[in-house]
Amino acid sequence: MTAQSTNITHMAAQLRSLSLEQEPVAARVDEGAEKGQRRAVWPRTIAVLIGIGATGYGASLTQPGHAALDFARLKAATLLTPYFGVAATGAAELPEAAPEMVTQADPTAAPAPAIPAPRQLLGSGYSRAGRDVVLGAPLPARIMSVEVTEGAVVKAGAVLVRLDDRSAQDAVARAELTLREAQLAAAKAALTVTQSVKDRVRAEALAARKVGPQRAADDAGHALDMARMEAEIATLAVTSAETALAAARTDLADYAVRAPFGGVVADLTAAPGMITYGDQSDVLLRLFDPASLMVDVDIAERSLGDLATGIAAEVGFDAWPDQSFHGRVTEIAPILSKERGTIRVTVVLDAPPPDLRPNMAARATLLLEEGPQKATGPLSLTSHPKRKGDDDV
Residues 181 and 199 in one domain: yes
Percent of the chain with pLDDT over 90: 50
- pTM surpassing 0.85? no
Residues 246 and 272 in one domain: no
Please, which pLDDT band fits residue 168 given cuts at 50, 70 and 90? very high
> Which of 158-172, 173-187, 196-210, 269-283 is the least confident region?
196-210
User: What pLDDT does 280 receive?
Assistant: 76
Residues 185 and 41 in one domain: no
In a domain, 196, yes or no: yes
Residues 296 and 237 in one domain: no
In a domain, 284, yes or no: yes
Residue 65 in this model has a pLDDT that exceeds 90: no
User: What pLDDT does 7 receive?
Assistant: 59
In a domain, 378, yes or no: no
In a domain, 391, yes or no: no
Q: In total, how many domains does the chain have? A: 4
Mean pLDDT of the chain: 77
> Which of 70-79, 248-257, 285-294 is the least confident region?
70-79
Instruction: Kindly state the average pLDDT of the residues 158-180.
Output: 95
Residues 39 and 181 in one domain: no
Last residue of a domain, one of 236, 267, 288: 288
Residues 278 and 149 in one domain: yes
Q: Kindly report, residue by residue over 125-151, the tens digit of the pLDDT.
A: 999 999 999 999 988 999 999 999 999
User: What pLDDT does 9 receive?
Assistant: 61
How far is C-alpha 157 from the chain's CA centre?
36
Gyration radius of the chain's alpha carbons: 57
Greater confidence (154 vs 22) lies with 154
Residues 222 and 281 in one domain: no
Residues 141 and 283 in one domain: yes
* Other CB atoms within 10 A of residue 216 CB: 16
Instruction: Kindly state the average pLDDT of the residues 52-62.
Output: 50
Residues 172 and 304 in one domain: no
The CATH number of the domain holding residue 284 is 2.40.50.100
In a domain, 107, yes or no: no
- Show the domain range for 69: 2-92
Residues 332 and 281 in one domain: no
In a domain, 33, yes or no: yes
Residue 388 in this model has a pLDDT that exceeds 80: no
Last residue of a domain, one of 288, 311, 339: 288
Residues 71 and 37 in one domain: yes
User: What pLDDT does 87 receive?
Assistant: 44
In a domain, 109, yes or no: no
> Which of 153-157, 298-302, 389-393 is the least confident region?
389-393
Residues 137 and 279 in one domain: yes
In a domain, 383, yes or no: no
Instruction: Kindly state the average pLDDT of the residues 319-331.
Output: 95
User: What pLDDT does 369 receive?
Assistant: 73
